[in-house]
């Protein structure tokens, strides 16, 4: 079914709303960057923090209503299936972030690398 044509007022209202969202996201990014230290950048820890920040932002925005709007007309069990798959992907990312944070803590920059015991001499 074709959508009804939009008039100029609708387009301007949509543009203004989009602009506000972009400005809000830019402010969030600026605040995030201000919170990084030189040590975070040198150690590469900035990426772990960025990924965690992005995931936290996403989980705040995405809820059942988001999926309902995004997948309008799709049966509820298909939406649940999609959410389950997404949760599994995010759990894998969280695990990777945790492993990266642990590795960054245990492996000190500049320390000599040790050979694992199973590697031959």
Sequential pLDDT tens for the chain (121 residues): 455 555 666 667 677 777 887 888 888 888 888 888 888 888 878 887 888 887 787 777 777 788 778 888 888 888 888 888 877 887 787 777 777 766 766 665 665 666 666 766 5
Between CA 119 and CA 114 the distance in angstroms is 10
CB 94 within 8 A of CB 55: yes
- pTM more than 0.85: no
CB 40 within 8 A of CB 109: no
Write down the pLDDT at residue 112: 60
């Amino acid at each position: 079914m074709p959508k009804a044509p939009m008039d100029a007022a609708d387009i301007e209202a949509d543009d203004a709303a989009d602009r506000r969202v972009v400005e809000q996201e830019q402010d969030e990014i600026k605040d995030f960057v201000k919170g990084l230290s030189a040590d975070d950048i040198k150690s590469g820890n900035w990426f772990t923090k960025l990924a965690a920040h992005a995931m936290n932002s996403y989980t705040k925005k995405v809820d059942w209503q988001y999926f309902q709007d995004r997948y309008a007309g799709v049966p509820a069990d298909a939406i649940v299936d999609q959410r389950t798959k997404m949760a599994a992907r995010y759990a894998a990312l969280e695990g990777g972030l945790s492993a990266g944070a642990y590795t960054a803590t245990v492996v000190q920059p500049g320390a000599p690398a040790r050979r694992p015991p199973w590697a031959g001499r």
